[in-house]
Amino acid sequence: MHTRDLEPKAIWNHFEDINAVPRPSKQEERIIQFMIDFGNNLGLETTRDAIGNVIIKKPASKGFENKKTVILQSHIDMVHQKNAATNFDFNKEGIRSFIDGDWVKAEGTTLGADNGMGVAASMSLLSSTEINHPPLEALFTIDEETGMTGAKELDGSKLSGEILLNLDTEDDDEFSVGCAGGIDTNTIYKYNQEAVPTNYAAFTIEIKGLKGGHSGMDIHLGRGNSNLWMNRVLYYLSTTADIRICELEGGSLRNAIPRESFGTFVCPSANMDEVSKAFNEISAIILQEFSITEPQAVINFERKEEKPLEMMNSEDQKKAIATIYTTPNGVWTMSEKIEGLVETSSSLAKVIFRDGEFITKSLQRSMIESGKRDIANALKLAYELIGAEVKQGGDYPGWAPNPDSAILKILKEKYIQLFDDSPKIAACHAGLECGILSKHLPNCDMISFGPTIRNPHSPDEKVNIKSVQKFWSFLVKVLEDIPSKN
């Protein structure tokens, strides 16, 4: 059975259509044009604002003309990440999805259900001739995953909706009414290099097979961070011999928990057996500690015949390893207002040692502005202590929950009516665009919901088939109950 044969066919076919179009963040021109063509081919009013967001408007169904206008919002970019062993060109190939039991997955890459499912649902409503609905304004934003540029630069004058449905959450029994803000911290430290002595030997270390995942939604799950693992190994080995970094790279995307790290190192040839023994000791310790959360993790050590020409200066390396070791990572504080909600966190997403530069990229998140600033300062000051250049940017606000939201009340009542159960009302520790969009659309009542998605931002991403059916039926029924204009 092919994904296109799943029900509801409209959503799955639109999903496959957009997954055939490469759509990485900051390179969305192809998917932007695809969406413009889609709207124009339906004969609907279709515009593109200055930053690249696409807006497609559809008049109300007969009898629904006096209902409030609803904005259907989702982002058209996706995280492009693949396993190291996967042969795939994101710039040329479409995502290869397949059915695995109750789930749809991709072959060795991210699936794009985040936020392709929301995009496909909006497309299904725009293309339908049978579904009753109020006036619709489908807003497809760009660059959500790497800075929320589309939301930040939105031309709000092009929209008139009073209700915004953000179709970008990951549990079909949950409504999001708030989200974390975030800020990127990027650092560069220029280090001195030395010639590798003739009596030194080379070896490689690779860490792979970690689960990774979304650095906001999954940060509380205790998953391994490949950058921290590699640094821990190096620190341990450095207590046995003069280990030097020649080249190292770990992690991939700013908003994903790093899954892999690879490095080339040297040490005195006479100490190689000691180093190998120490590696076996520390790798066994780490794998045992994470045996439950990271059962597929692998840490490999291999001697290397070809020796690099240069290695990192010893004092610079001590500073770098110490700084990484003390870098805040994971959950910083939990919310005192919402049980079980991470309030503030940080994720060390990328570490590079190459050509005399030690580079890190990390993302700090918080439900409160003061918490975001506090942990961002902790990162900034730690790296400035060793003389690194620190740049912070991509700052975006959180979305404060509104307990008096009218659309929340409508959705709760409809959910109970349809599913004979109460939905979870939550704020999420991730960056939803609602926080930014509310600045452009101050009079808009907003809420976020979607189908069940697991492991977004990683090659293990998957979407539950039954939850897509549930999400679709719920969305259709909600649109029938939108209140009339005042």
For the chain, residues classed under CATH 3.40.630.10 are 3-180+398-480
Give Cα 484 distance to the centre of its chain: 36
Tokens of 97: 């999805």
What residues are paired with 75 via a beta bridge?
141
Please, which residues have CB within 8 angstroms of residue 322's CB and are 6 or more apart in sequence?
Answer: none
What residues are paired with 250 via a beta bridge?
261, 351
The dihedral of CA 361, 24, 19, 171: what is its sign? Answer: positive
Q: What is the pLDDT of residue 168?
A: 94
Strands 330-334 and 261-268 come out as: unpaired
For the chain, residues classed under CATH 3.30.70.360 are 183-396
Q: What residue type is assigned to position 128 of the chain?
A: S
- The C-alpha atoms of residue 459 and residue 232 are separated, in whole angstroms, by 25
φ, ψ for residue 65, nearest 5 deg: -65, -30
Give Cα 59 distance to the centre of its chain: 34
Helices (H), 309-433: 314-326, 369-384, 406-419
Residue-wise pLDDT tens digits, 101-115? 999 999 999 999 999
Residue-wise pLDDT tens digits, 57-85? 999 999 999 999 999 999 999 999 998 88
**Degrees, nearest 5: CA angle 100-104-105:** 85
Q: What is the pLDDT of residue 337?
A: 79
Exposed (0-12), middle (13-18) or buried (19+): which is 204, by Cβ within 10 Å? middle
Overall residue count recorded for the chain in this entry = 486
Query: Is 80 exceeded by the pLDDT of residue 403?
Result: no
Q: What is the pLDDT of residue 394?
A: 86
Exposed (0-12), middle (13-18) or buried (19+): which is 138, by Cβ within 10 Å? buried
Mean pLDDT, rounded, for 446-462? 95
Residue-wise pLDDT tens digits, 352-402? 999 999 999 999 999 989 999 999 999 999 999 999 999 999 888 888 788
Residue of 459, 351, 350 whose CA lies nearest to 83: 459
Residue of 424, 420, 428, 409 whose CA lies nearest to 478: 409
Helix (H, G, I), strand (E, B) or coil at 424: strand
- The C-alpha atoms of residue 126 and residue 11 are separated, in whole angstroms, by 11
Helix (H, G, I), strand (E, B) or coil at 355: coil
Say what the pTM is.
0.73
Q: What is the pLDDT of residue 227?
A: 98
- The C-alpha atoms of residue 388 and residue 53 are separated, in whole angstroms, by 36
Q: What is the pLDDT of residue 428?
A: 85
Q: What is the pLDDT of residue 146?
A: 86
Average pLDDT across the chain, whole number: 95
Give Cα 194 distance to the centre of its chain: 38
Residue-wise pLDDT tens digits, 264-286? 999 999 999 999 999 999 999 99
Name the residues annotated as catalytic. Answer: 77, 144
Q: What is the pLDDT of residue 304?
A: 95
* CATH of span 183-396: 3.30.70.360
Q: Which of 41-45, 137-141, 150-154, 251-255 has the lowest mean pLDDT?
A: 251-255
Query: Is 90 exceeded by the pLDDT of residue 253?
Result: no
CATH for 3-180+398-480, among 3.40.50.720, 3.30.950.10, 3.40.630.10, 3.90.550.10?
3.40.630.10
Query: Is 80 exceeded by the pLDDT of residue 309?
Result: yes
Q: What is the pLDDT of residue 396?
A: 86
Q: What is the pLDDT of residue 250?
A: 98
